[in-house]
Amino acid sequence: MRILLKLSGEALAGEKKTGFDEETVKRVGLQVKKLVDDGVQVGIVIGGGNFWRGRTSENIDRVKADQIGMLATIMNCIYVSEIFRSQGMTTNILTPFECGSFTKLFSKDRANKYFEKNMVVFFAGGTGHPYFSTDTGVVLRAIEVEADYILLAKAIDGVYDSDPATNPAAKRYDTISIDDVVAQNLQVVDMTASILARDNKVPMRVFALSEDNSIVKAASGDFNGTTVTTN
Ligand code: UDP
């Protein structure tokens, strides 16, 4: 079994909303370790929103702003990788562009090699291109490394038909097809990533990171959240 786990940058910040919160990351790490110890191959993609969002920076060029965003995701991966190592895991960080000795250049073969050694593989730097997101990055890498599914750990506990923050009558789906996600423009991942997941049949499980043991439960399939199917 090979899975990719997507965490938002904000998730690393805990209550602080910016930077890192070590306790939050350690809670994630304990769960990832349990999966790895059980023989699951785990890849990690992390956003950058705890540091930077390219599109909100009005006064600088978007391409440059996005480069800063991609670098933010690498900082996040280096941090989380080190916390995971302190918890007894072995890790490697792959990026789509050279970062000297900080990371290794992504290739499918290299990722496979690390997965087979039971290392946690971080896919940092997004797609390596501006105008994309780490949502697209995680779907792209899931396709490339032939992951079985993506775990989307979110601030919200699944996929709703409307925003529960503004509509108290919003209904959560237990299961929804990726075709319906795209057709109804539902916020699971961004639209570019949704279409990539639909066209390449990448299943996803959406759940709240804050719930106890939610990553392990989602990986087992018996979890509180939404399954996004591909058939
Ligand atoms: N980013 C990018 N290309 C990618 C992935 C990320 O340009 O393939 C940049 C973009 O500026 C984005 C930031 O990195 O705003 C952080 O990524 P994340 O996916 O967290 O962005 P969000 O969609 O939350 O803004």
pLDDT per residue as tens digits for the range 91-113:
999 999 999 999 999 999 999 99
pLDDT above 80 (res 55): no
CA of 181 to the centre of ligand 1 (A): 21
Tokens of 151: 């775990």
- What is the pTM assigned to this prediction? 0.96
Q: Are 127 and 135 in contact (CB under 8 A)?
A: no
- Residue 15 confidence (pLDDT): 83
Among 92, 91, 85, CA closest to 106: 92
Which pLDDT band, with edges at 50, 70 and 90, does 56 fall under? Answer: confident
Please give the average per-residue pLDDT across 49-78, as a whole number. 91
Cα within 13 Å of Cα(5), Cβ side: 31
Q: Which atom of ligand 1 is nearest to the CA of 130?
A: 7
Region label for 3, one of left (φ > 0), alpha (ψ between -120 and 50) or beta (otherwise): beta
- CA 101 to ligand 1 center in whole angstroms: 23
- Cα-Cα-Cα-Cα dihedral of 217, 221, 227, 229, to 10°? 150
Domains, the chain, in order of start with CATH, read: 2-229 (3.40.1160.10)
CA of 39 to the centre of ligand 1 (A): 31
Q: Is the pLDDT of residue 57 over 90?
A: no
| CA 100 to centroid of chain Cα atoms | 24
CA-closest residue to ligand 1 atom 14? 69
- Residues in CB range of 36: below 8 A, 6 or more apart: 42, 89, 118, 120
Nearest-atom index, ligand 1, CA of 137: 8
Instruction: Indicate left, alpha or beta for 126 from its phi (over 0: left) and psi (-120 to 50: alpha).
Output: left
Task: Say whether pLDDT at 147 is over 80.
Answer: yes
Nearest-CA residue for ligand 1 atom 21 is 133
